[in-house]
Structure 1
C-alpha cells in the first residue's frame, strides 16, 4: 500500500458539518427577524430554499462567475424573494448576521476529532485546502477545536484561485513543503476535491457519507471518516 506523509483535508462538508451548523444559524435568524410573520413559508421551507440558492451561488463562485461579495449579498435576497417576501421587507443586515453567527457553530462529522488525533499520532502532517473565505474558515476551526491538528490552512481567498484549479493544489503543496506523490486529498466534492487533486497528480479520498452514485474513479472512497483508519 502506498505510503503518504501529507494529508490535505477539505473543511466544509468533510470535517465541519456545514448543513447542521447552517440549519442552526438559519433557525436563529428565522426567529430573530420574525420571518414567520409573513405567513407564506415555514422555517423548513426557508431552510430548504436557502440551501438550494446557496449551493447554486457557490457553484457560480467556484466557476469564477460571481464574486465573494456578490455571493454574500445575493443569497438571502434570492431566498426570500423566491419565498414571496417583497425586497423592501428583507432585513438589510440578515446576510451579515448569518456570516457573523455561522462560523461560531461547532458541529463536526462523526469521528472527526478521534480520527484526526489518530492520524496525528501516526505521524501524518495534516493541512486544510478550502474554497472558503479566510477569516470565516479560521473562526470555524477555532469554534470546532480543529486548529491544532493542521500545519497549513490554504484558502482560495489567500491563494488567489479556487479548487479544482491545479494552481490551488500546486500552491498548497509548495506551502506545505510536500510533493504530490507523498500527498493525499480528502474531500466531499467530486469536482473540486477528487478531480482537482487527480489533475494535480495527487491521490484522493472521496468522502461520500450519503453514498451517492457516481461514475468517477477515485483512489479511495469512504462513507465515514473512521474508515480512514483502514488504510492510513
Structure 2
C-alpha cells in the first residue's frame, strides 16, 4: 500500500452536500417569491430545470466559456424563461438571494466529520481544492463547521485556473508544500478531480455514492466516505 501524507478534498458533491442544500434554498426562493402564482410550473419542475441549467453553465464555466458573473446572472433567467415565465416577471434579485442563502446551509455527506477527524488524527495533512467561488466556499465551510480540518483551502479564484488544469494542482501542491507522489485527491468528478489529479501525477479516489457506471481508471473508488478508513 502506497504511503500518503497530504490528502486533497473537493468540496461540493464530495463533502458538502450541494444537491440537498441547493434543493432547500430553491424551495425557500420558490415560496419567498411566490413563484407558484404563475401557475405554469411546480416547485419540482423549478428545481429540476434549475439543476439542468446550472450544470450546463458550470460545464461552460469550467471550460472557460463563460465567466463567474455570466453564470450567476444567467442561470435563473434561463431557468425561469424555459419554464414559461416572462422575463419582466423574474425577480431582479433572485440570483443574489440564492448566493446569500445557499452557503448558509450545512448539510454534508454521511461520515464527513467522523472521517475527516479520523484522518487528521492519523497524522494526514488535509487540504481543500475547489472550483467554487472564494467567498461562497469559505461561507459553506463555516456553516458546516469544516474549516478547521484543512491546512490549505485552494479555490479557482486564488489559483487563477480551474480543475482539471494541471496548473491548479501544481498551485495546490506548492501551497501545501507537498509532492505529488505523497498526495491523494478525493473528489466526485471524473474529469475535474480524477483526470485532473492523474495528469498532475497525483493518485485519486473517485467518490461515487450513486455507483454510476464508468470506464475511467482510478487509483481507488468509494461509494461512502467511511470507506477511506479501509486504506488510509
Tell me if both proteins adopt one fold, taking TM over 0.5 as the criterion: yes
Give yes or no for the alignment of 1:145 onto 2:162.
no
Give TM-score scaled by structure 1 length.
Answer: 1.00
SS in 1 for 2:175: helix
Q: What is the root-mean-square deviation of aligned Cα atoms in Å?
A: 0.2
Tell me, in whole angstroms, the C-alpha distance in 1 between the residues paired with 2:176 and 2:38: 50
Query: Which position in structure 1 is the counterpart of 2:127?
Result: 127
Within 1, Cα distance between the matches of 2:137 and 2:111?
A: 20
Distance 1:213 1:92 in 2: 40
- Counterpart of 1:111 in structure 2 is 111
Q: How many residues align?
A: 232
- Structure-2 separation of matches of 1:18 and 1:64: 22
User: SS in structure 2 opposite 1:128?
Assistant: strand
Cα distance, 1:158 vs structure 2: 1.0
1:24-43 maps to which residues of 2 (within 5 A)?
Answer: 24-43=24-43
**1:214 and 2:224 are equivalent in the alignment:** no
Q: Which residue of 2 aligns with 1:20?
A: 20
Measured in 2, the distance between the counterparts of 1:138 and 1:55 equals 21
Which ranges in structure 2 are unaligned for 5 or more consecutive residues? none
In the alignment, the residues of structure 2 paired with residue 78 and residue 33 of structure 1 have an alpha-carbon distance, to the nearest angstrom, of: 17
Q: By how many angstroms is 1:6 displaced?
A: 0.1
Deviations 1:162-183 (A, max 9, x none): 0000000000000000000000
1-structure distance, mates of 2:171, 2:57 = 25
